[in-house]
């Protein structure tokens, strides 16, 4: 592949709801540009950008894939993103390195959830958007309905630049409102013939062209003056004004077609070359590139995808990772098209490429020259919200699992892994059910590690509600030296802290050298309460009396005596079970507020308040027991059709209601029995 200058580059994030046909559209564009000799199909597992085993199996994109498309002396870098919310972090990566956005909508389904989410993100990034209404050949397809829905729900200055000729099974081509000509497509070839605009579309075309002229005039002050004076704009002026208006993000052009039938695709490619902005770049010669994606490739190892923002990146060079302050050796630079690789000697500012086997570089890192360090803005990934506890099926696979997970975490910034020291579980957190399923599949397929997964255990605690005094005496007399330790303690609630120890010994009833052993015995004892073996918290224990034997007393004996005293005292001091309560913030569109509040109340939640947020959203603040939140990511997605988000953090421990406590204690006792049997 040749090296392209910045002015001849276009970087587009292809975004839309799952099933709108993004991958099929990218495939059709590659076919028209001659990069493939047949139209690959998602359903047959032959699409260029859906090449991972999990994508072929599920017939959906789960990965951001790069597809450079060479068209009319330009290189269009198409960043094909997944359309399911579990994989939205991939779209975030694409938006960070794109200069414009191709929004793909289905002519039957119209504006769907991920269309809205992607649209919002593109607006926040201030990227120009072009909409392509796909699947015009499907039953119940309606271009007008989708355009109206976009105006109603997405807002913005939405203006069709094309009209469809025919619809559903009779969809055969487009009317180009810029040239005011119709084009009938030959689906197999993707070629078209110019025709006169059908008579029944003429009035509609004239009316639509008026809106285009207005948008063009608004793109340029001189043209606006001319337009306001009532003078018609020439075709060239309309073209110039529209290009400026599009690149200034002041209107959203709408095109249409059918990716599967290869209708309208060539006109879309022409539009992208003629209207989409080239990357902005200074004339600086020192390179600055952002790594926006990392992939664990079974053949070449770790692959790092980067976009050059400044200067030129060359193969076989040394660069500086400004985030990690480490030098990296750049080997051969590739241009990737799906899984196919083409080598290039260098990559100019604005272009996208990949390099293998970088040692220390991860997603979000900047590569530059050591004498001209720069740190580019990274990528803000959404926080994962659904957790499972995982363990290898084979006991000896712990190291294998650890190595495999570190590779997967490196490639997927929306995954988290941590060890819960209290429950001794390894917790994997992802963006949703499908995301976690695919991660577990990858562990088995790529790394040969089979794992068991289950809902994470809730870290319950135990505490006491009353004050008691208790004796603990450990006396053991066998042949030779015996063991003797004797203590009296007070056990009382300590709402201010986890555990406090105090000694009030008078007259040396317990010698000073044994007091640390008493404290140690108590600290070990509180790791297991008497109700269900959970750690004990919120207690104060005072050592106030005891006795010793000048020969038989030892640190061990006092440690055991203290532990015995604690266990007996705990049983008498009205022990209760505590559960973690979380501060939860749920952000949802206003129409779902009632349902969300009802659901949180049903989860034993306390609503603390609500506050409006821009974009018609409401933030609901509540406190909810962690035990009720384990699958909240799934519930929220279901109630809001994927429009809601939430975050939570630990607030405090509170007593579990008695009837629930009984169930938890019984279940825990059964689990502990099973473990003993093992």
State the average pLDDT over residues 612-622: 91
Pairing of strands 100-106, 575-589: unpaired
> Which H or E element spans position 484?
strand 483-493
φ and ψ of 33, to 5 deg: -85, 0
Q: DSSP for 361-395?
A: --TT-EEEBTTB--------PPPP-EEEEEEESSG
In this structure, what CATH number is given to the domain that contains residue 24? Answer: 3.40.50.300
User: Could you report the per-residue pLDDT of 23-78, keeping only the tens digit for each?
Assistant: 999 999 999 999 998 888 888 888 888 888 888 888 889 899 999 999 999 999 99
Residue pair 115/20 in contact (Cβ under 8 Å)? The answer is yes
Please tell me whether residues 147 and 93 are part of one structural domain. yes
Q: Which long-range contacts (CB under 8 A, 24 or more apart) does 417-421 make?
A: 420/389, 420/456, 420/457, 420/459
Q: Is residue 223 part of a domain?
A: no
Count of structural domains, the chain? 5
Q: What does the pLDDT read at residue 232?
A: 85
Give the separation between CA 542 and CA 565, rounded to whole angstroms. Answer: 11
Q: DSSP for 621-647?
A: EEEEEGGG-TTHHHHHHHHHTT--EEE
The tally of CA atoms less than 13 A away on the side-chain side of residue 596 is 31
State the average pLDDT over residues 534-542: 96
Please tell me whether residues 190 and 140 are part of one structural domain. yes
Q: What does the pLDDT read at residue 674?
A: 81
Domain end call among 528, 549, 573: 573
Taken in order 113, 116, 122, 124, the sign of the CA dihedral is negative
Domain end call among 339, 368, 397: 368
pTM of the model: 0.88
Give the separation between CA 275 and CA 173, rounded to whole angstroms. Answer: 21
Structure token digits, residue 429: 């957190």
Please tell me whether residues 406 and 525 are part of one structural domain. no
Please tell me whether residues 299 and 312 are part of one structural domain. yes
> Cα–Cα–Cα angle for 106, 110, 115, nearest 5°?
85
Model confidence at 675: pLDDT above 80: no
Q: What does the pLDDT read at residue 678?
A: 64
Judged by average pLDDT, the poorest of 306-310, 346-350, 443-447, 673-677 is: 673-677
Give 298's pLDDT tier (boundaries 50, 70, 90). Answer: low
Please tell me whether residues 324 and 393 are part of one structural domain. no
Q: Is residue 378 part of a domain?
A: no
Per the listing, tokens 């009319």 go with 72
Q: Is residue 675 part of a domain?
A: no
Which residues span the domain enclosing 621?
578-659
Please tell me whether residues 542 and 594 are part of one structural domain. no
In this structure, what CATH number is given to the domain that contains residue 415? Answer: 3.30.70.870
In this structure, what CATH number is given to the domain that contains residue 470? Answer: 3.30.230.10
Give 672's pLDDT tier (boundaries 50, 70, 90). Answer: confident
Please tell me whether residues 97 and 175 are part of one structural domain. yes
Please tell me whether residues 556 and 609 are part of one structural domain. no
Please tell me whether residues 98 and 176 are part of one structural domain. yes
> Cα–Cα–Cα angle for 566, 569, 575, nearest 5°?
105
User: Could you report the per-residue pLDDT of 450-461, keeping only the tens digit for each?
Assistant: 999 999 999 999
State the average pLDDT over residues 196-220: 93
Q: What does the pLDDT read at residue 447?
A: 87
Domain end call among 573, 607, 628: 573
User: Could you report the per-residue pLDDT of 71-130, keeping only the tens digit for each?
Assistant: 999 999 999 999 998 999 999 999 999 999 999 999 999 999 999 999 999 999 999 999
Q: Is residue 37 part of a domain?
A: yes
Residue pair 64/81 in contact (Cβ under 8 Å)? The answer is yes
Q: What percent of the chain has pLDDT over 70?
A: 99
Give the separation between CA 347 and CA 334, rounded to whole angstroms. Answer: 9
Please tell me whether residues 45 and 151 are part of one structural domain. yes
Q: Is residue 54 part of a domain?
A: yes
Give the separation between CA 182 and CA 273, rounded to whole angstroms. Answer: 20
State the average pLDDT over residues 373-392: 93
Q: Is residue 494 part of a domain?
A: yes
Please tell me whether residues 144 and 254 are part of one structural domain. yes
Q: Is residue 362 part of a domain?
A: yes
Model confidence at 297: pLDDT above 80: no
In this structure, what CATH number is given to the domain that contains residue 620? Answer: 3.30.70.240
SS3 458: coil
Residue pair 43/59 in contact (Cβ under 8 Å)? The answer is yes
Model confidence at 597: pLDDT above 80: yes
Structure token digits, residue 141: 């397809």
Give the separation between CA 11 and CA 76, rounded to whole angstroms. Answer: 6
Give 396's pLDDT tier (boundaries 50, 70, 90). Answer: confident
Please tell me whether residues 139 and 91 are part of one structural domain. yes
Model confidence at 300: pLDDT above 70: no
Q: Is residue 619 part of a domain?
A: yes
State the average pLDDT over residues 236-251: 93
Residue pair 237/216 in contact (Cβ under 8 Å)? The answer is yes
Residue pair 492/464 in contact (Cβ under 8 Å)? The answer is yes
User: Could you report the per-residue pLDDT of 157-182, keeping only the tens digit for each?
Assistant: 999 999 999 999 999 999 999 999 99
User: For the chain, what is the mean pLDDT?
Assistant: 93
User: Could you report the per-residue pLDDT of 472-493, keeping only the tens digit for each?
Assistant: 999 987 767 789 999 999 999 9
204 contacts: CB under 8 Å, gap ≥ 6? 163
SS3 621: strand
**Diameter of the chain by CA atoms?**
117
Residue pair 174/181 in contact (Cβ under 8 Å)? The answer is no
């Amino acid at each position: 592949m040749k090296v392209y200058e910045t002015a001849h580059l276009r970087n587009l994030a292809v975004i839309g709801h799952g099933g709108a046909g993004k991958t099929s559209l990218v495939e059709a564009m590659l076919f028209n540009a001659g990069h493939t000799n047949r139209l690959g199909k998602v359903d047959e597992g032959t699409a260029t950008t859906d090449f991972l085993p999990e994508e072929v199996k599920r017939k959906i994109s789960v990965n951001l894939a790069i597809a450079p498309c060479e068209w009319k002396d330009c290189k269009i870098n198409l960043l094909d993103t997944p359309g399911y919310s579990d994989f939205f972090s991939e779209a975030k990566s694409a938006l960070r390195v794109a200069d414009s956005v191709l929004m793909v909508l289905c002519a039957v389904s119209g504006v769907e959830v991920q269309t809205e989410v992607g649209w919002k993100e593109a607006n926040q990034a201030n990227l120009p958007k072009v909409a392509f209404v796909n699947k015009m050949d499907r039953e119940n397809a309606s271009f007008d309905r989708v355009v109206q829905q976009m105006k109603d729900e997405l807002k913005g200055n939405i203006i069709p630049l094309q009209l469809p000729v025919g619809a559903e099974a009779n969809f055969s081509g487009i009317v180009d409102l810029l040239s005011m000509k119709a084009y009938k497509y030959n689906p197999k070839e993707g070629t078209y013939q110019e025709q006169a605009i059908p008579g029944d579309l003429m009035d509609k075309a004239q009316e639509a062209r008026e809106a285009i002229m207005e948008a063009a005039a608004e793109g340029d002050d001189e043209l606006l003056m001319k337009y306001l004076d009532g003078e018609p704009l020439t075709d060239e002026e309309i073209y110039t004004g529209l290009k400026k208006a599009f690149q200034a993000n002041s209107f959203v052009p709408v095109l249409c077609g059918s990716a599967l039938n290869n209708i309208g695709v060539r006109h879309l490619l022409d539009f992208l070359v003629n209207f989409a902005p080239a990357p902005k770049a200074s004339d600086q010669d020192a390179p600055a590139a952002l790594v926006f994606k990392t992939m664990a490739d079974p053949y070449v190892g770790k692959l790092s995808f980067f976009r050059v923002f400044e200067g030129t990146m060359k193969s076989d060079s040394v660069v500086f990772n400004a985030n990690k302050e480490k030098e990296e050796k750049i080997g051969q630079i590739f241009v990737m098209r799906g899984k196919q690789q083409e080598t290039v000697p260098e990559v100019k500012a604005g272009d996208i490429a990949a390099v293998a086997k970088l040692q220390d570089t991860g997603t979000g890192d900047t590569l530059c020259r050591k004498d001209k360090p720069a740190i580019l803005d990274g990528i803000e990934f959404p926080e994962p919200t659904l957790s499972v506890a995982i363990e290898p099926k084979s006991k000896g696979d712990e190291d294998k699992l650890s190595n495999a997970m570190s590779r997967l975490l490196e490639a997927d910034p929306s995954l988290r892994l941590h060890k819960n020291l209290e429950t001794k579980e390894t917790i994997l957190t992802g963006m949703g059910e499908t995301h976690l399923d695919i991660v577990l599949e990858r562990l088995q397929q790529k790394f040969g590690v089979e794992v068991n997964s289950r809902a994470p255990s809730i870290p319950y605690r135990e505490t006491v509600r009353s004050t008691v005094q208790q004796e603990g005496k450990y006396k053991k007399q066998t042949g030779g030296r015996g063991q003797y330790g004797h203590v009296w303690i007070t056990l009382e609630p300590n709402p201010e802290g986890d555990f406090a120890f105090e000694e009030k010994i008078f007259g040396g009833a317990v010698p000073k050298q044994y007091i640390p052993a008493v404290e140690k015995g108590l600290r070990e004892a509180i790791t297991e309460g008497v109700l269900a073996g959970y750690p004990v918290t919120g207690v104060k224990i005072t050592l106030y009396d005891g006795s010793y034997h000048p020969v038989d007393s030892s640190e061990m004996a006092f440690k055991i005596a203290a532990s015995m005293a604690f266990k007996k005292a705990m049983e008498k001091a009205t022990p209760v079970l505590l559960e973690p309560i979380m501060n939860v913030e749920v952000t949802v569109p206003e129409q779902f507020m009632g349902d969300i509040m009802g659901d949180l109340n049903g989860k034993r939640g306390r609503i603390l308040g609500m506050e409006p947020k821009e974009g018609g959203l409401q933030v609901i603040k509540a406190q909810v027991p962690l035990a009720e939140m384990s699958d909240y990511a799934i519930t929220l997605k279901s109630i809001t059709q994927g429009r809601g988000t939430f975050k939570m953090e630990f607030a405090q421990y509170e007593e579990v209601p008695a009837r629930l406590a009984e169930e938890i204690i019984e279940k825990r006792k059964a689990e502990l029995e099973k473990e003993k049997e093992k």
